[in-house]
Amino acid sequence: MKSMKLLAVLPGNCIQSLSKNFSTGPASLQRQFKILVVGAGAGGCSVANKFAHHVGGEKVGVIEPNDEHYYQPMWTLVGGGVKKLQDSVQKMSKLLPKKGTWMKTKAVAFDPEKCTVTTAEGEEVKYEYLIVATGLQLNYNKIKGLPEAFDTDPTVCSNYDYNYVQKTWPAIQNFKGGNAIFTFPNTPIKCAGAPQKIMYLAEDWWRKNGMREKANIIFNSSLGVIFGVKKYANSLNKVIESRGMKINYKRNLIEVRPETREAIFQNLDSPTGETETFKYEFLHVTPPMSTPDVVRDSPLVDAAGFVDVDKNTLQHKKYSNIFGIGDCTNAPTSKTAAAAAAQCGILETNLRAVMANKPMTAQYDGYTSCPLITARGKCILAEFDFDGNPLETFPINQGKERMTMYHMKKDVMPQIYWHMMMNGHWNGPGVYRKLMHLGMDGPEKQPASA
């Protein structure tokens, strides 16, 4: 068998014998890649395509078990009756690098010392550089009575799951009055604005269809504020007050009783673990979330179970040939597709520098975005950084409800996602923001004396 071998001392104390086997002999017993990406969500697909362009698709491997890719930010609109579910789905094979290797399987173990990821079939896949992009897993089972209540109670729904989001719009339409409860769990979640966005869409539909006076709309949140950035929180509080919705803070859903239509919430302010029982006629559940078990049980994570990266470079704090992107990392910003897009450009620049033995120069500022739809035709486009400073793209006050921002969310952002981000050509709106603000990041990022 003809082969070519290279002994390389890799970052992260990884000494790896690399072997490229040609077609003159049988296939290698162990596959190996220059770039291995685990997870093909928003961040994973984007960086896989970026590096396929850079190093060649044949040197890029992707471990991803799912046949379909979902544009999950659209599910708020699906649940609210604005979009069709099929608009949020594309075949995974159409999005991954054409010449790359797609391993349609699960990762079951990470060994950063050996530079391997083990698949469900027991194969140890070797890598020079690893990008962890696994996203988050939904832990409905952490709530007693779920997920079983989704199967037995048509009034219980959730926009965070492909199957359960299909229940939301019918449940909104069939609601006849009573308590309509929307929840926010006591864990980090993806798209932290989504639990309240569906509340605004439901209230808007009930109001326009003569059901509002019969609806007692309740948002039970484990948080202590409606939104983490004061500018947008002020705007949202005005919306909530003007439309007569009730907010209960520090309330965490721990049980659903579909037979009696009761939801049990833990009072997080109670030192004795006091609980409260709410009757419901409509219940939208946002589940607790975590990194997937395989990540949480690996050497890659911090004490909270998230991939432990430098928040500015996205390089792993211990293993220098490993980078993380998106929801699975501990970068302290809101977990959104917009954040993943901004991180893509940072990761690409820094990993290419590491590969070339050069210093990393790109710095992630925590940019993230949450289009807060408050009704059909109205949206507050929140954009901000690590410190909660607004980083608004447009030279207008995005803290106001606007129809233009609604159409950005509904019509423009899906096109950017499918046709730019997925093929590796979208790093967020930073360049456009500077152009619109004459080379600056916007007035709210300037020193107080400016």
Q: What single letter denotes the amino acid at residue 17?
A: S
Among 45, 157, 191, 344, the active-site one is 191
Nearest to 306 by CA among 127, 61, 106, 134: 134
Q: Do residues 44 and 38 lie in contact, with contact meaning Cβ atoms separated by under 8 Å?
A: yes
All residues at 6 or more sequence positions from 368 whose CB lies less than 8 Å from its CB, including other chains? 333, 334, 335, 336, 338, 339, 342, 383, 384, 385
All residues at 6 or more sequence positions from 97 whose CB lies less than 8 Å from its CB, including other chains? 48, 49, 52, 57, 60, 62
Beta bridge partners of 252: 266
**191 classed as catalytic:** yes
Nearest to 292 by CA among 74, 132, 76: 132
| Separation CA 275–CA 293 (nearest Å) | 29
Beta bridge partners of 156: 283
Q: Give 102-156 as a DSSP string.
A: EE-S-EEEEETTTTEEEETTS-EEEEEEEEE----EE-GGGSBTTTHHHHH-TTE
Annotated active-site positions, please?
A: 191, 370
